[in-house]
């Protein structure tokens, strides 16, 4: 029998349209599937326990699929370099196949592994339709502005999805190795009982086809509506695919080509614009991955250095009120409580919460970025950082610093009947609709809900002054 090869699963926890796995299977050698819990990630600043719970659940689903083929997922803990070296020595593996992770830590780790292992390591660009370096300006430098990036991205040829490999995995009985049980949160040293979505590649496929059948043609207007339940057809227009993208339960190629087909089938100009809007969101995902690849310093501070002198407020009590959903602004508080209940919230809710922290409270966006990463099951360093810096106005191609969301008008526009607020703030369920967005305006406000911790009109002027002063100081310094 030919020497086996190793497929190292990371952020590609699926069998279908998995480029590295497909290449490994095409060698004709039996494939050893392995996942490694990397302690550097479990201790890292971007770690989140709810996301780990989601990961464990997705790994269980992947292992179940492998068991149906007579194989099993090898689970290991420790330094990936050490684990892979030991596994190669134990099995006589001829090569390692993996899909690229574009985060700075992962790129350094993988280069180290390629140098140190005594067998070839084959790396594939699976997680993006166009990897960093493929979408460049005419002078061969990377884009830092979204619109020209998008225009160039749309002109490039897109590869079609590949299928699921056949019976390529080494049978579980063919490995004289211990199969460790999938660890629990407690076994990994963490506490928590988190409700997470249905996991697995098959669940991701159902989610995609549900979105295509019921929501994509309403995406342009529906994506901004605030709703408690991502399956609420009457209010939500989003895909809820981000948790499945996070660990690669579905491929960007499949989603892109499915959206292209939905565009072809769209019956109205409005429906076609909705599909175009959704494809635009897929491109934003790739744009932020490219930005982080070429500008890793963005993880450590402002993308735009003129804001390095900005005088943020150091107010732990205000930050705590924001994290606890006790700011006195119902839409902000509903968003923060949904985050800590579901590990997810609609993008509009993320922007409202982020704008309130960075503009109304004038607290450094990095505090919010870290908090979101602690809770989001779809938390991704590139996407989260890009979103926070966009809202704060410190990022590349960010919204203008003088754009400050009014939490009351945002609430009235995107939660007009107050259903989102009432779902997540039970203390406000009895508040009449005319006051649900600003309960402090009632003659007798609810006793168990706090008054606003900031006056929006005053806070807006304070933020504009602080951002304007930072820009002026930078101009004077230059």
Is residue 284 annotated as part of the catalytic site, yes or no? yes
Any idea what DSSP says for residue 47?
-
Q: What share of the chain is helix, strand, coil (3-state, %, to 5)?
A: 50, 5, 45
State the catalytic residue, choosing from 8, 238, 388, 424.
388
Distance CA 236, CA 242 (A): 15
For residue 174, report the phi and psi dihedrals to the nearest 5 degrees: -90, 0
State the catalytic residue, choosing from 202, 218, 284, 473.
284
Rounded to the nearest angstrom, the gap between the alpha carbon of residue 44 and the centroid of all alpha carbons in its chain is 16
Calculate the alpha carbon distances from 463 to 116, 239, 302, 328, 433 in Å.
50, 34, 16, 19, 30
Which element (helix H / strand E) includes 257?
Answer: helix 252-265
State the catalytic residue, choosing from 281, 315, 440, 473.
281
Is residue 347 annotated as part of the catalytic site, yes or no? yes
Terminal alpha carbon distance of the chain: 68
State the catalytic residue, choosing from 54, 153, 365, 424.
365
Is residue 365 annotated as part of the catalytic site, yes or no? yes
Distance CA 61, CA 67 (A): 10
Is residue 388 annotated as part of the catalytic site, yes or no? yes
Distance CA 337, CA 318 (A): 16
Is residue 312 annotated as part of the catalytic site, yes or no? yes
Distance CA 167, CA 187 (A): 32
Q: Among residues 204, 193, 222, which one has the least CA distance to residue 348?
A: 222
State the catalytic residue, choosing from 347, 406, 440, 473.
347
Residue 296 neighbours by CB under 8 Å, 6+ apart: 104
Helices marked H in 117-251 — which ranges? 146-155, 201-214, 219-222, 242-246
Distance CA 294, CA 273 (A): 31
Nearest-5° angle of CA 104, CA 135, CA 288? 45
State the catalytic residue, choosing from 257, 312, 315, 473.
312
Any idea what DSSP says for residue 359?
I
Which are the catalytic amino acids? 281, 284, 312, 347, 365, 388
């Amino acid at each position: 029998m030919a020497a086996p090869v190793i497929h190292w699963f990371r952020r590609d926890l699926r069998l279908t349209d998995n480029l590295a796995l497909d290449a490994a299977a095409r060698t004709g050698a039996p494939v050893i599937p392995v996942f490694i819990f990397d302690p550097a990630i479990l201790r890292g600043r971007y770690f989140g326990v709810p996301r780990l719970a989601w990961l464990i659940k997705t790994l269980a689903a992947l292992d179940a699929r492998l068991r149906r083929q007579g194989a099993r997922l090898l689970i290991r803990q420790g330094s990936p370099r050490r684990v892979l070296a030991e596994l190669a020595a134990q099995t006589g593996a001829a090569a390692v196949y993996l899909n690229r992770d574009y985060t700075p830590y992962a790129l350094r780790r993988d280069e180290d592994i390629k140098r140190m292992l005594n067998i070839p390591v084959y790396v594939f660009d699976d997680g993006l339709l166009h990897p960093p370096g493929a979408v460049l300006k005419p002078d061969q430098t990377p884009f830092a502005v979204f619109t020209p990036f998008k225009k160039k991205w749309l002109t490039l040829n897109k590869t079609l999805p590949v299928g699921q490999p056949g019976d390529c995995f080494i049978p579980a009985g063919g490995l004289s190795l211990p199969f460790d049980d999938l660890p629990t949160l407690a076994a990994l040293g963490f506490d928590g009982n988190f409700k997470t979505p249905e996991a697995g590649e098959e669940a991701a496929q159902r989610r995609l086809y549900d979105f295509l059948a019921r929501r994509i043609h309403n995406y342009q207007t529906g994506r901004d509506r605030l709703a408690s339940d991502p399956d609420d057809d009457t209010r939500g227009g989003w895909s809820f695919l981000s948790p499945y993208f996070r660990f690669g339960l579905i491929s960007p190629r499949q989603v892109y080509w499915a959206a292209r087909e939905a565009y072809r089938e769209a019956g109205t100009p409005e429906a076609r614009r909705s599909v175009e809007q959704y494809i635009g969101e897929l491109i934003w995902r790739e744009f932020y991955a490219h930005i982080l690849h070429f500008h890793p310093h963005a993880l450590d501070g402002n993308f735009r250095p003129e804001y390095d002198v900005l005088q943020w407020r150091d107010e732990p009590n205000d930050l705590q009120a924001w994290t606890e959903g006790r700011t006195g602004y119902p839409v902000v508080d509903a968003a923060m409580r949904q985050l800590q209940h579901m590990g997810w919230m609609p993008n509009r809710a993320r922007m409202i919460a982020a704008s309130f922290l960075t503009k109304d409270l004038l607290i450094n966006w990095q505090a919010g970025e870290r908090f979101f990463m602690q809770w989001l099951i779809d938390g991704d360093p590139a996407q989260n950082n890009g979103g926070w810096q966009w809202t704060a106005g410190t990022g590349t191609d960010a919204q203008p610093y003088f754009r400050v969301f009014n939490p009351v008008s945002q609430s009235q526009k995107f939660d007009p009947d107050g259903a989102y607020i009432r779902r997540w703030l039970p203390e406000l369920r009895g508040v009449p609709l005319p006051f649900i967005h600003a309960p402090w305006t009632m003659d007798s406000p609810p006793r168990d809900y706090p008054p606003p911790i900031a006056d929006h009109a005053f806070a807006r002027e304070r933020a504009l002054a602080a951002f304007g002063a930072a820009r002026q100081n930078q101009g004077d310094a230059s």
